[in-house]
Amino acid sequence: MSETFTKGMARNIYFGGSVFFFLIFLALTYHTEQTFPARSNVDQLTESVIRGKSVWERNNCVGCHTLLGEGAYFAPELGNVFKRRGGDEGFKPFLHAWMKMQPLGVPGRRAMPQFNLSDQEVDDMAEFLKWSSKIDTNNWPPNKEG
């Protein structure tokens, strides 16, 4: 084997390496795209969940809250609020009561505004947050309060 490292060898490593890792990148992208529907429970995207997402966006909840880590860090994470506040039995009544009682007006506590959402909008929001809590995120956030 030659002792010298030629330009041709360097070029082959550069192009060969680029093609190799680009192919790995394509394969991983394909794999991710294939697993999304199962991980995000696409089959459970009801009309109500979709309306709830629209209520979420129109009212800019993400301006204060995070949803699965995305958003602002002023107020609690809501990706798992469904599990934290009652789950299947308790969450919907909790959300109705919570939305009605804002702002709490407790001195020294961060306030959430009153949004005057209709009952239908709160129901849809509850469905959206329920659906969000079921996304398979490899158990993130690590604890219920997170």
Please tell me the count of residues contacting ligand HEC according to CB under 6 A.
Answer: 23
How distant, in Å, are the alpha carbons of 11, 22, 104, 123, 125 from that of 39? 41, 25, 36, 24, 21
Q: Which residues contact 73 (CB under 8 A, 6 or more apart)?
A: 66
Comparing CB distances to ligand HEC, the nearer of 45 and 94 is 94
The residue from 86, 115, 135, 141 that contacts ligand HEC (CB under 6 A) is 115
Q: Tell me if 146 contacts ligand HEC by CB under 6 A.
A: no
The closest of 132, 120, 146 to 55, measured between CA atoms, is: 120
User: In this chain, which stretch among 1-9, 13-21, 41-49, 111-119 interacts with ligand HEC, using CB under 6 A?
Assistant: 111-119
CB of residue 143 to ligand HEC, shortest distance in Å: 12
Q: In this structure, what DSSP letter does residue 71 have?
A: E
Binding mask 41-80 for ligand HEC (x = CB under 6 A): ------------------xxx-xxx--------xxx-x--
C-alpha to C-alpha distance for 139 and 117, rounded to whole angstroms: 31
Binding-site member from 11, 39, 110, 134 for ligand HEC (CB under 6 A): 110
Nearer to ligand HEC, 12 or 46 (CB): 46
Q: Is 129 exposed, middle or buried (0-12, 13-18, 19+ CB in 10 A)?
A: buried
